[in-house]
Structure 1
Amino acid sequence: MTGKGSGGASPGSVWAFPGMPALGLVSVFGFSGYAALLSVAPLWAARGGADAAGSGLVNGVLLAATVLTQLGVPALLRRFGHGPVIAAGVLLMGAASPAYLVSDALGPVLALSAVRGVGFGIITVTGSAVVAHLVPAARRGAAVGAYGLAVAVPNLLLLPASVAVADRWGFGWVFAVGALPVLATPFAYAVGRALGPADRPAGGAPRLDRRTAWAVARPTAVLFAVTMAGGGLLTFAPQVVDSTDASWVLLVLGVGTAACRWGAGHLSDRHGAERFLAPLLLLGAAGLCLCAWGAQRGGDLGLMLLGAALAGVAYGGLQNLTLVVAFHRVDRAHIPVASAGWNIGFDGGTATGAVAVGAIATASGFGAGFLALAVVCVAALPLCLPAAGRPEPRTADEVA
């Protein structure tokens, strides 16, 4: 299944591989439920009386539950297969969203965020792992980019729109959109059928040696740094500038993320992924410094937009490239482990960024919070040095 069409296929043809369209639909519906509430759920808690630290906890709890779930997803896949597990994930995410309307008190909001986090943990690990099974290694960068585009489009459309919709027409409409993952249930089973024998790997968990663990940990730590930036900006942009301006900031961030998550895949297939990590981290740090300056100037929209654009390029590009690096450094038996590790870095970083910026902002303002995230990106630069071990596969040009 993964061997056909590996060399001369056009960049867009990864969608022709069996299972990729169903995976794309699961991703679009699943991440719609995530994106619609990412900035709005903290606002809902703030409306109920939570301060910046409390509203930061909303996404912190969501993603803490996500990370804890991700640790167990490889075992769930071995026991039940991808179809039932993905279906459970989208149902948990979607069904919990309308229940926010019951109360805007912090306790119930955090509880529902935890339920959604369990579903989101399942969707994220299974989605990125499936990509590596459906396409050959030489096309993996393009496939990860295509998957990333399906993930990024809901963020691009719903993150900025959700804040404006909640402000103008009420939170109920946003919580209804948050139920969209339920519609992905039949496509979850289609993904399982497309995987065939890879749906439920035989035997127990593969042994994770020290070199493999480090191969996954290094790109995951780079990802952790840049997703801390994303978590801080996505959670608190609506509290740094007013709701209309926040929609523009989130739109710019989303456009940069979507374009670069998709485009970075083709670059990595042709030139390798690791050489782009350090420049993108520096670009992200520069964007965060601009956002910090904008926050210090009372929410200067021009600085926030420019900072969000630079941060979005780094945020999207590094999402793709770090996953490609992690997959290239492990054998096929460890792909679910690499996927789980990468997703833990992604969601752990997002949660940590939200909680850290909330805590720092409560004491010293949002400018100090964004500046701290820039320091984290710079501190992660040594992890971008190429590591010894399994070489990257031949590029698409070499295969062709």
Structure 2
Amino acid sequence: MAVLNQKSVLDMIKEFRRNWRTFCNSERTTVCGADSMLLALQLSMAENNKQYSGEFTVSLSDVLLTWKYLLHEKLNLPVENMKVIDHYENIRKIYDDFLKNSNMLDMIDVYKKCNVLTSNYENYANISPSQLRDFLSGRQYAVDNETDFSEPMSPISKHNRDNEKVQLLAKKIIYSYLNLLVNSKNDLALAHILNIPDRGLGREAFTDLKHAAREKQMSIFLVATSFIRTIELGGKGYAPSPSDPLRTHIKGLSNFINFIDKLDEILGEIPNPSIAGGQILSVIKMQLIKGQNSRDPFYKAIEEVAQDLDLRIKSIINSQQGDLALSTTDISPARPKSHAINHGTAYCGRDTVKTLLVLLDEEAASAPTKNKAELLYDDENTIHHNGTSILTLFR
């Protein structure tokens, strides 16, 4: 059987984008790639364990076992002889609800929705369920990319691997900012960047936001935005109650929301998506490297990733200037801050949003991370940059 490549996956996602009105309520719905699917599953399993045993935790072996089962079950592949963890139905419900509330569709959802189309079916007709399973699980990369970890790494190899990890971290952070800008309901993206750079919004702040979001049945970003906007626009009469847990995080939340506002204003004020995209990346870059040593690997990685993505945005726009040229006739002006509480519904800078969605779709179609333990549990990648593992944040 032929190996499924990234182009085939991207063609499938493009078909979904062309028919988004048929499949979802928002043009800003984002696609959840393999790594994000696995993170969402991990959180869902931890939440399930909390409901049944009182502890928000889950082992790597259980996550990988359920990941394998989930791929088969969602793709309607045989599961008769596969092990399944207890309460799988509840885990699946939590997983589905998490994606729905985050305005995301995972890769299998996109595949299933595209399969119901009657037009242009040839674009992805050659993708079989087993091919998509192998792509998402990383099975097709296992042979070619195996590394012998039993042998000690040389200093040069370790240096290169450390640089690669920093590069991946920089990429994850910038993509998360872009993801939240496009889809303000994406709690997973917000978790990656709420306290990067340091805003004093660590685990305690995230936990308080998460509880408030759950109580109000809103996204975490919308809770933070409405809280800060009420204080900024409401005056003394709208000051938060002394018992409000978010009160202690006003400074950090204000910093975060105002920064996202700045990015959102670029979307609405600059009609040219190439210029707008470049400015958005530049503002994110300057925020992340401010106060950093220019010789620091993280500083260099942020600069390199921002430059690469800027070039990629220009390439995307150039490739669309033929028969798929982006229309600039339906751009709405940026809304004033008083009306910007729900960034997910603000209809401005549509051309730039569409370009950023292409960029995010390409990232979603990337090959999954090989080291699952590092992806799911390793705090080392982020702790030096004021981050915490996703599981720890949501605990």
- Normalised by the size of structure 2, how large is the TM-score? 0.27
